[in-house]
Chain A
Amino acid sequence: MTTYSDYAYLIVGLPVLAFVLTIFLGWHLPKGGGFFTVLATFAGFIISAGIFTEIFPGEVLHQSMHWFATLNVGILIDPLALAMLLMVTFVCTLIHTYALGYMDGDPGMARYFAEAGLFTAAMLGLVFSDNILQLFIFWELVGLCSYLLIGFWYRKPSAASAAKKAFLTTRVGDVMFLAAIVILYNSMASLNLNLAPGEYLLQFPVIYKSLALIDPGQLTIIALLFLGGAVGKSGQFPLDVWLPDAMEGPTTVSAMIHAATMVTAGVYLVARMFPLFYAAPYGLLAVVYVGGFTAFYAATMGLTAFDIKRVLAFSTVSQLGYMMMAIGTGAVVGAFAVGVGMFHLIAHSFFKALLFLCAGSVIHGVGTNDMREMGGVGKYMKWTMLTMLAGGLALAGFPLTTGFFSKDEILVVAYEYGSISHQWLPYIFGIVAALMTAFYTFRMWFVAFDGEPRSDYHKHESPWVMLVPLMILAVFALAFGAFSQSGFYDAVGNNFEHYGVDFEELAVVGGHAVAHGEGHGGEAEHGGEEAVEEPFIIKILPIVVGVGGILLALLFYSRWKKLDVRKYVGERDPIRGLLLKRYYQHEILTAWFAETVVYGLSLISNMIDIKIVDGVLNKISEVTLAFAGNLRKVQTGIIENYITALVFGVVVLVILIKIGMEVGL
């Protein structure tokens, strides 16, 4: 009997096929052949759902075959991967459908759908890889597709430049990722493991199994390098510079990058490698601080941005920080943390895709990204306004929305983390960022949809092919959390049980002195709450900051405005300037480091090469060249001369050798 599991490879295979079909036939088809990509992605969703019914909850789907040398290719679908597969195929299907309307009329539509199909395929391939090298290969492919899509309007210099920036910045992370694989491979190879047939060194189950045997110091290096890769891809500080600029592509691309594909890959990597991070001393500590700080840092920049997509971009960076922070708390709460982080990832993908598509709808209608030129858009775009409200509420963490459930749990584990490890900073970052998130989200919503039109824009609602995906996403942004939370934590938090990962043993390796509460450390019940008693104020704090932020925005920016921003923050306020300049991060990283230091070094190398390396050579060969000058007169470019010379040379050689023989050398 054939089952869905037999066709797992089609999850990636079909979008690749769509890519090929679109690239060759798309030009001749209506809508650029975009329906290939839509259908392929949707088929991936069906297959993923089918596999879900077949293997869930007790089994893992693992297929593998030899590739070359000591490496393999394979498919591994466990609850962690399944969650991602379902999310990516679901959200991408909606985004692609929306793009049928959004991209209509663009002369590059076929190219768009080809690249979008490949992008989806790469992300899905990344998710279901059974080994870290294959994951890396798809990871790079994701990077390539994002490069192509961000630079989709390549005639625009800013788009081409943003694409390059995205690729190179994430490449810095990729270099670390590559280094991590190289070291991990060698650490594992030196263990001389007895691999069963079908087992290969870089497969995740084999990695999990051998963690306890690897030197902890080595593990820390590997974990930090993996984290470096994730920081680049998921736009964590300090490699977050590319993400806000990645807005140069079509809005649907932003939706894909920010919600379903690309940036979630970094978080997924950390989740996938959680046992390694857990076993590595300082591994999760680094994760929790990078994540916490990024959540806070990016939220501050969201406060002042004027570009509607840029506000959303900063919120993405910030929310990714939350996910990282959640997983980082695993040092205290165990593998349950993976469930918490991943749940926010899934929740975020719904409401962030929704928000971006709404923003796209607004931009599509209004014709500008600048919120200062909008105002009152809600009057003309009712559906867009309402669906965006749903997304905004979820992002702000308004009670009972999906975002509320997912973010609340992160703050719970962060609190628990703080009370056991006495590292309170991540929790504080989380709370403050939550307040700012609610504020800037509704600042955006009010400025765009409320008030009076501030410029003369087109006033029409988007077509249904764009609105229906928005409505579906809005339902998920509002209601998904309430129904799925505990089941999700169980499934994903227990993910590593399938491989027999012994977190207690790894805790010793990783030096986690803190005792785990009941149900933690891979045991995976609903961890967290039982271990640490939370005071009432802590329990309601997430609600207070979420609702409070929304109210503040209402007081400052809505039609019921009571306060004037200008009274508190002047035009020349230094902090506002700093935020608008994004902490001069671009200037430091791109302009100074890349363009001055690296390029300067290359110019110096070039000088050395010309003046010294070649210079010395030229000096040496001056004599020779003088000789060559004479030679040239003899040999005037007639081929026969040279052949004669060669034959002659060979004869001389033979004679010399003969003489040598006679002399008895």
Chain B
Amino acid sequence: MISNAISWMIAVPLIGAILVFMTRTRAQARMVALVASLVPLVLSLQMFMEFDKTSKMMQFVESYDWVPSIGVKYTLGVDGIGFPLVLLSTIVSVLVIIYSWGEDKRPNQFFGLLLLNEVGVLGVFTALDFFLFYIFWEIVLIPMFFLIGIWGGPRKDYAAIKFFIYTHVASLVMLLAIFALYFTYTMPDGSRTFDMLTLIQATSNTAIFPTSLLNIIFAGLLFGFLVKMPAVPFHTWLPDAHVEAPTAGSVVLAALLLKMGGYGLFRVILPILPSVDKVFVTVIAVIAVLSIVYGAFLALAQKDLKKLVAYSSVSHMGFVTLGSVAVLGAAAPFLSLQGAMFQQFSHGLITCVLFMSAGTIQHSVGTRIIADLGGLADRMPRFAFLMMAGFLASLGLPGMSGFVAEFMVLTGSYATMPTATMIVIFGGVAVTAGYHLWATQKVLFGPILKKYLNVHDAHSYELLSMSLIIILVLLFGLQPALITDIMGVAAEQLMEPVMTLAQMGVI
């Protein structure tokens, strides 16, 4: 492994982005972009091989002083929480570039922004310094804003601004909370630090962080992450953003950007949760159940295929929230937490196929309104097969990764939150099957509508990227241990302080 692998992983797409901006033709732009995104993929695969699954420490760590006077460091590293998401980001970035191979509107900027986006998410999932973390967190907003604002649909301005302001407000609240952490805690030598792990660990010390103060800080952080997820009732920016965003933007948004919220839950929220007021546990659990069930019902009501997929994201991300909050008080092996982490990874893959399907239909047929579609399987058999596979994966069909994640979350959550779990199973799971099947059936099956007789099957690059994802979804559905083995130690590590508190009788 080369040294500073993570830095290279972030730097290559950044340099790539700059190069792509300077290219003149689409052929150059997409080729440079592809190469620049393949490098991080190769690096992350190599890290996957070398990853020490038994270690509780951060791995591949790089740490340099950056602004020593205020305690800002350039610290990067991964553990079982961050690494699966790094892998996800590098995979999805390559596939989304392949999927967009035919983009002809300002291709150099388009591919450049996709690369810039990869820079941001990789930074978020690897940064171990709050300052750095926040910078990457904000960087992500910019490419997405432009992807929606330039390549978006008819109401792109409204959607772009709403997306930007909504998530930006949330980020600012989170930033205030980070500052509060920063200014409250002093290191033994009197200096201050932005080091994430140090600050988070310090919150368990009530002498430094009295519960009343910590409650406020915690609420700020939580708000920042829940908006990003997004969790009900902070989810309304998502459908608007998705409906207007170009396909690649939607894919990246759903597959990677939402995962930043879930990552925040694991990395930041969970370790602090035992030290704050218990009412937060209830609040988060309610939000989780609401997201899953209400999100599923919302999806069922949608007329636009893409909006349906957008709401399905809300519903599926609810499992992440549920699994993480339900781990409190659970016994090893922390199934619900591992399930939540796995759901992040799995949903990241599956949602790609769903948004790509919606995008391909839009390109080929010219509409996404479900009622206007019908019988497309007749003219687009290959595409229909892949779309069907994606929707089945999303509805939780066993053998595919989504089922594993949901099963782990539900089984794990039942131990500590039986009522919430049962509401989810009976209120959410059947409805989820309902809207997925209803949509696929209406769109793909039945007699082909006359106006679609001339429709052709999807482009080869679209089919290629979709099939690659389906293969991965199957691979991780049949062999989840590939990822859960990485997560297991991290889950234990994450829960260790909590367990100690539990033994002390604090929770």
Q: Does B294 contact A (CB under 8 A)?
A: yes
Q: Does A273 contact B (CB under 8 A)?
A: no
- Range class of the A interface residue count: 35 or more
Residues of B within 8 A of A69 (CB): 333, 335, 338, 408, 480-481, 484, 488
Contact status of A178 and B445, CB under 8 A, knowing A602-B301, A605-B298: no
A307 → chain B closest CB, angstroms: 22
Taking A179-B422, A182-B414 as known contacts, 15 extra A-B pairs with beta carbons closer than 8 A to each other, sorted by chain A number, are A136-B398, A141-B398, A155-B448, A160-B446, A163-B441, A168-B430, A172-B430, A178-B410, A186-B418, A605-B301, A617-B236, A632-B157, A637-B149, A646-B142, A649-B138
Query: What are 29 A-B residue pairs whose CB atoms fall within 8 Å in the complex?
Result: A66-B481, A68-B485, A69-B333, A69-B484, A70-B333, A137-B398, A137-B403, A151-B445, A154-B377, A154-B445, A155-B378, A155-B445, A155-B446, A167-B437, A168-B430, A171-B430, A186-B414, A186-B415, A598-B431, A599-B300, A602-B298, A602-B299, A613-B235, A621-B165, A625-B165, A628-B161, A632-B157, A637-B146, A657-B70
Is A639 in contact with B425, judged by CB distance below 8 angstroms?
no
Residues on A facing B (Cβ under 8 Å): 66-70, 133, 136-138, 140-141, 144, 151, 154-157, 160-161, 163-164, 167-168, 171-172, 175, 178-179, 181-183, 185-186, 189-190, 594, 598-599, 601-603, 605-606, 609, 613-614, 617, 621, 624-625, 628, 632, 637, 639, 642-643, 646, 649-650, 654, 657-658, 660-661, 665
Is B481 in contact with A603, judged by CB distance below 8 angstroms?
no
Is B375 in contact with A606, judged by CB distance below 8 angstroms?
no
CA distance A628 to B431 in the complex (A): 38
Residues of A within 8 A of B434 (CB): 168, 594, 598
Q: Which A residue sits closest to B409, measured CB to CB?
A: A182
Q: Among B165, B338, B430, point to the contact of A175 (Cβ < 8 A).
A: B430
Q: Does B329 contact A (CB under 8 A)?
A: no
A578 → chain B closest CB, angstroms: 29
B317 → chain A closest CB, angstroms: 16
Residues of B within 8 A of A190 (CB): 415
Is B335 in contact with A637, judged by CB distance below 8 angstroms?
no
A134 → chain B closest CB, angstroms: 9
A549 → chain B closest CB, angstroms: 39
CA distance A186 to B415 in the complex (A): 6
Residue among B179, B421, B446, B485 having the largest count of chain A Cβ atoms under 10 Å: B446
Is A598 in contact with B300, judged by CB distance below 8 angstroms?
yes
Residues of A within 8 A of B377 (CB): 154
Residues of B within 8 A of A642 (CB): 142, 145-146
Is B397 in contact with A68, judged by CB distance below 8 angstroms?
no
Q: Which B residue sits closest to A612, measured CB to CB?
A: B233
Q: Among B70, B399, B407, B488, point to the contact of A141 (Cβ < 8 A).
A: B399
Residues of A within 8 A of B109 (CB): 639
Q: Among B169, B297, B298, B426, point to the contact of A179 (Cβ < 8 A).
A: B426
Q: Which B residue sits closest to A661, measured CB to CB?
A: B70
CA distance A658 to B182 in the complex (A): 13
Residues of B within 8 A of A643 (CB): 142
Q: Is chain B's interface secondary structure helix, strand, loop, or mixed overall?
A: helix
How many residue pairs link A and B with beta carbons under 8 A? The number is 164
Is B410 in contact with A164, judged by CB distance below 8 angstroms?
no
Is A639 in contact with B146, judged by CB distance below 8 angstroms?
yes
A233 → chain B closest CB, angstroms: 14
Contact status of A183 and B414, CB under 8 A, knowing A155-B448, A617-B236, A650-B135: yes
Q: Among B297, B335, B408, point to the contact of A601 (Cβ < 8 A).
A: B297
A665 → chain B closest CB, angstroms: 5
Q: Which A residue sits closest to B385, measured CB to CB?
A: A23
CA distance A393 to B413 in the complex (A): 52
Contact status of A605 and B294, CB under 8 A, knowing A155-B448, A628-B161, A657-B70: yes
Q: Which B residue sits closest to A161, measured CB to CB?
A: B441
Residues of B within 8 A of A68 (CB): 404, 479-481, 484-485
A600 → chain B closest CB, angstroms: 10
Q: Among B166, B301, B399, B447, point to the contact of A137 (Cβ < 8 A).
A: B399
Residues of A within 8 A of B300 (CB): 598-599, 602
Residues of B within 8 A of A665 (CB): 183
A637 → chain B closest CB, angstroms: 6
Is B70 in contact with A171, judged by CB distance below 8 angstroms?
no
CA distance A613 to B397 in the complex (A): 31
B window 476-490: CB within 8 A of A: 479-481, 484-485, 488
Is A613 in contact with B437, judged by CB distance below 8 angstroms?
no
When A and B form their complex, which 7 residue pairs have the shortest distance between CB atoms, in order from nearest? A137-B398, A606-B301, A602-B300, A68-B481, A160-B445, A614-B236, A602-B301
Give B91-121 as 1s and 0s: 1 = Cβ < 8 Å from A's Cβ atoms: 0000000000000000001000000000000
Give B126-142 as 1s and 0s: 1 = Cβ < 8 Å from A's Cβ atoms: 00000000010011001
CA distance A624 to B378 in the complex (A): 48
Q: Does B202 contact A (CB under 8 A)?
A: no
Is B398 in contact with A157, judged by CB distance below 8 angstroms?
no
Q: Which A residue sits closest to B139, measured CB to CB?
A: A646
Is A632 in contact with B429, judged by CB distance below 8 angstroms?
no
Residues of A within 8 A of B166 (CB): 617, 621
A644 → chain B closest CB, angstroms: 11
Is A185 in contact with B411, judged by CB distance below 8 angstroms?
yes
Q: Does B438 contact A (CB under 8 A)?
A: yes
Residue among B236, B426, B431, B447 having the largest count of chain A Cβ atoms under 10 Å: B236
Contact status of A164 and B437, CB under 8 A, knowing A178-B429, A186-B411: yes
Residues of A within 8 A of B445 (CB): 151, 154-155, 160
B210 → chain A closest CB, angstroms: 17
CA distance A175 to B406 in the complex (A): 12
Give B434-458 as 1s and 0s: 1 = Cβ < 8 Å from A's Cβ atoms: 1001100100111110000000000
Residues of A within 8 A of B422 (CB): 179
A176 → chain B closest CB, angstroms: 8
A304 → chain B closest CB, angstroms: 30
Residues of B within 8 A of A164 (CB): 437-438, 441
Q: Does B61 contact A (CB under 8 A)?
A: no
Q: Does B502 contact A (CB under 8 A)?
A: no
Q: Does B365 contact A (CB under 8 A)?
A: no
CA distance A236 to B157 in the complex (A): 54
Q: Does B67 contact A (CB under 8 A)?
A: yes
Residues of A within 8 A of B404 (CB): 68
A434 → chain B closest CB, angstroms: 35
Give B351-367 as 1s and 0s: 1 = Cβ < 8 Å from A's Cβ atoms: 00000000000000000
Q: Which A residue sits closest to B374, measured CB to CB?
A: A157
Is A168 in contact with B437, judged by CB distance below 8 angstroms?
yes
CA distance A382 to B421 in the complex (A): 58
Residues of A within 8 A of B139 (CB): 646
A20 → chain B closest CB, angstroms: 12
Q: Does B392 contact A (CB under 8 A)?
A: yes
Residue among A69, A160, A172, A646 having the largest count of chain B Cβ atoms under 10 Å: A69
CA distance A514 to B418 in the complex (A): 34
Q: Which A residue sits closest to B339, measured CB to CB?
A: A69
Is B448 in contact with A624, judged by CB distance below 8 angstroms?
no
Q: Does B474 contact A (CB under 8 A)?
A: no
Q: Does B281 contact A (CB under 8 A)?
A: no
B423 → chain A closest CB, angstroms: 11
Q: Which A residue sits closest to B235, measured CB to CB?
A: A613
CA distance A665 to B235 in the complex (A): 35
Q: Among B403, B433, B444, B481, point to the contact of A171 (Cβ < 8 A).
A: B433
Is A625 in contact with B161, judged by CB distance below 8 angstroms?
yes
Q: Among B70, B183, B431, point to the contact of A654 (Cβ < 8 A).
A: B70
Residues of A within 8 A of B200 (CB): none
A653 → chain B closest CB, angstroms: 8
Residues of B within 8 A of A603 (CB): 301
Is B425 in contact with A182, judged by CB distance below 8 angstroms?
yes
Is A613 in contact with B233, judged by CB distance below 8 angstroms?
yes
Residues of A within 8 A of B301 (CB): 599, 602-603, 605-606
